[in-house]
Amino acid sequence: MQREHQKFVTELGDWHRSHSCGQLTINNDGEDVCLMGWVQYRRDHGGLIFVDLRDRDGLTQIVFSPDIAPAAHENAHILRSEYVLAVKGKVRPRPDGMINANMVTGQIEIVAYEWKLLNTSKTPPFPIEDRSDAGENLRLTWRYLDLRRPRMQANLRLRHKVSQAARCYLDDNGFTEVETPVLTKSTPEGARDFLVPSRLNNGEFFALPQSPQLFKQLLMVAGMERYFQIVRCFRDEDLRADRQPEFTQVDLEMSFADEEQVMGIAEGLMARVFKDVMGKELALPFPRMPWDEAMARYGVDKPDTRFGLELVDLTEIVRGSGFKLFATAQLVKGMKVPGGESMTRKEIDAFTEFVKIYGAQGLAWIKIKADEWQSPIAKFLSDEERKGIAEALDLQIGDIVFFQAGEPSMVNAALGNLRVHLGNHLKLIPENSFNFLWVTDFPLYEYNEEDKRYVACHHPFTSPAPGHMELMVTDPAKARARAYDMVLNGCEVGGGSIRIHSGEVQRRMFEALGFTPEQAEEQFGFLIQALDLGAPPHGGLAFGLDRLVMLLTSSPSIRDVIAFPKTQKATCLMTDAPSTVSSRQLRELGLRLREVPGAEQKKDGAAADKA
RNA sequence: GGAGCGGUAGUUAAGUCGGUUAUAACGCCGGCCUGUCACGCCGGAGGCCGAGGGUUCGAGUCCCUUCCGCUCCGCCA
């Protein structure tokens, strides 16, 4: 059909758009206008034909009338969804009773006197409208059509505004935007690198940066004093709703600054973004919470402080309990849900399944009834223990308490995540609220079971807390870092630290991480050398732009705020990347594949070689 | 590496205990229609039930393998 209609397609010629499709109101009554856009809906009455024309700004109703402009009406019946149209006509008020209150432009319509078909369109694989619930595979395959939807356009435009606000704010505060290499050196710490083979240096590889960390520190050594960049970062790890292999950071670094100054700049930046983009005033400064307290009260290092349900440590209260699980556990915690006594067995079973994800064996619970504690475990608890638990949790009749006992990391993960799950399930989270929180005093290290060694909790360039230098070697688990995360609604949106600016300290850090001096020199020699050449004290922070915009747009995934995201398997359904390359390309790079793709079938077996 | 959910017409979904010609809505095509606005009315076309194998007289439905999408655990300095 659209092929037949091709013959109606004409050039733009000297037509110029006078207004957008979201712009015209009753105030433009009588004006001659020219609109251009896509056909959203057509309503062909045989006589009158209505077309809702869409551009990035909105919808405007066009009327093709055989009485007023027969020439314009003659062929208008060919118009179909997503045809590209230019219309010249006159703005007029809609007749009495025909006003559409749901449309910004609903008081008026354009009577078409002349129009040009600029292009036809095949029937799109899914309708271009916000209420369309096309599957994600379709949306990603036809991404440019998905991006035509107003919702996605609004997301990208809001993202742009956030970037813009950040740029202006940082510029106002004396930061210089500096670009850093995308082809850089692979470093062993942290996430997996994306590697790029070097044609001019066969057998050697660049890595795409996991972040510009080292370069921004070197810019401080270079005397830039205040640097920022809105920069792509790459990490070859498994994806999540809030994790893509390439993502964007608003990255900044400051010389001669301590935590207070970095956090102050970061708060100011957020305030500017919220004011410019959301029209909201943020209360500064943001509340702060040491990491220990966050773990104790919320079980996670990024607490969602929009609702209660805090965790309470009961370990000591049940230390000598007849309930062996509690008595012997390294950590026992409880979480009270006020009014939760009405929960059904089915609900509780679902919560039990939920916590098993985090390694919990089960989920103990007690319903506080008027006359008894109803619970599978109540009979194991002494009166004294009951009293202690009741006091610690301030129990009231009608509550339910969930318990978790065992390995501290499991207990915290299970209850901490159950807390968030319950917050959603019980609708305890107020809509349109933005709760910022700084989490401070992070551990310097965490123990990595796989490698049997301590690894940097933040990154290996993070300065230990004052007085914790000795602990780096003597008791690494106790050492604290000068690191801070900015948490928004339970989501980590930013993180940073005061860096090590002494070559000597940096050498000790690598030593503590198990590097030999030779390894440290080989991997990070250029950094250590720079620190030895007059590096100023410095620190900084990076925001996850995608996550921030995801929260500001209430999107369920960062894919909805990235123009061309990857699938969970890190592929692009639109371009079919990644894909194989020619043997010639490989040869130039000095590479040979150990396994030849295509030997096993890539998709559906349709084109697969049966050999 | 692991757990879970999903894949049926262009789209979104229904499809019972394995049993006739696989439904519906929207979209699409044709016709009618001068005030609709997700127009309406009449008619029509449209299916590799993700793919491969198995069980069975018979498979969209049961079993196995596999591919794809999503959520999560591990992983993500």
ipTM score here?
0.94
- How distant is C1' of B57 from CA of A610, in Å? 32
Q: Indicate if CB(A474) is under 7 A from strand B.
A: no
Q: Indicate if CB(A131) is under 7 A from strand B.
A: yes
Distance CA A434, CA A236 (A): 31
User: How many C-alpha atoms does A551 have within 13 Å on its Cβ side?
Assistant: 22
Rg of chain A taking only CA atoms, in angstroms: 30
Q: Indicate if CB(A125) is under 7 A from strand B.
A: yes
Q: What is the pLDDT of residue A603?
A: 37
**Cβ distance A286 to A297 under 8 Å?**
no
Q: What is the pLDDT of residue A598?
A: 53
Q: Is A516 helix (H, G, I), strand (E, B) or coil?
A: coil
**Cβ distance A310 to A303 under 8 Å?**
no
Instruction: State pLDDT tens for residues A337-369.
Output: 999 999 999 899 999 999 999 999 999 999 999
- How distant is C1' of B24 from CA of A124, in Å? 22
**Cβ distance A259 to A539 under 8 Å?**
yes
Which nt has its C1' nearest the CA of A410?
Answer: B73
CA distance readout (Å), A444 to A52, A259, A477, A484, A509: 59, 15, 8, 11, 10
- Closest residue to B26 (CA to C1') is A127
- What is the amino acid identity at position A62? I
Which nucleotides along chain B are within 7 A of a protein C-beta?
1, 10-13, 26-30, 32-40, 48, 50-52, 66-77
b/e A324-333 (16+ beta carbons within 10 angstroms → b): ebbbebebbb
Residue A395: CB partners within 8 Å, gap ≥ 6?
A336, A368, A389, A401
Question: Could you give the strand order of the β-sheet that contains A176-177, starting from the edge strand earlier in sequence?
Answer: A176-177, A226-234, A246-255, A538-544, A491-498, A483-488, A436-440, A288-290
Which nt has its C1' nearest the CA of A460?
Answer: B77
**Cβ distance A322 to A383 under 8 Å?**
no
- Closest residue to B48 (CA to C1') is A606
Q: Which of A's residues 375-434 have CB atoms within 7 A of nucleic strand B?
A: 413, 417
Residue listed under structure tokens 């942290």: A190
Q: Indicate if CB(A456) is under 7 A from strand B.
A: yes
A179, with CB counted inside 10 A (0-12, 13-18, 19+), is: exposed
Residue A462 pairs in a beta bridge with A499
- How distant is C1' of B40 from CA of A107, in Å? 23
Q: Strand A246-255 relative to strand A491-498: parallel, antiparallel, unpaired?
A: unpaired
Q: What is the pLDDT of residue A597?
A: 59
Distance CA A574, CA A559 (A): 14
**Cβ distance A126 to A140 under 8 Å?**
no
Q: Which of A's residues 263-302 have CB atoms within 7 A of nucleic strand B?
A: none
Q: If we measure between CA atoms, which residue out of A80, A86, A73, A75 comes closest to residue A13? A: A86
- How distant is C1' of B30 from CA of A124, in Å? 21
Q: Is A470 helix (H, G, I), strand (E, B) or coil?
A: coil
Write down the pTM of the prediction: 0.95
Q: Is A406 helix (H, G, I), strand (E, B) or coil?
A: strand
Q: What is the pLDDT of residue A2?
A: 82
List alpha helices for A432-555, DSSP H.
Answer: 471-474, 503-512, 517-531, 545-552
Ranges of residues in chain A with a pLDDT under 70 are 596-611
Beta strands in A45-107 (DSSP E): 49-55, 58-64, 84-93
List alpha helices for A85-197, DSSP H.
Answer: 136-141, 143-146, 150-172
Residue A454 pairs in a beta bridge with A447
Q: Indicate if CB(A208) is under 7 A from strand B.
A: no
**Cβ distance A88 to A16 under 8 Å?**
no
Q: How many residues does chain A have?
A: 611
- How distant is C1' of B17 from CA of A349, in Å? 29
Q: Indicate if CB(A569) is under 7 A from strand B.
A: yes
Instruction: State pLDDT tens for residues A463-486.
Output: 999 999 999 989 999 999 999 999
Q: Indicate if CB(A457) is under 7 A from strand B.
A: yes
Q: What are phi and psi of A331, to 5 degrees?
A: -145, 135
A373, with CB counted inside 10 A (0-12, 13-18, 19+), is: middle
Angle at A139 between CA A137 and CA A143, to 5 degrees: 120
Q: What is the pLDDT of residue A601?
A: 40
CA distance readout (Å), A495 to A35, A239, A249, A442, A540: 46, 20, 10, 11, 9
- How distant is C1' of B18 from CA of A137, in Å? 32
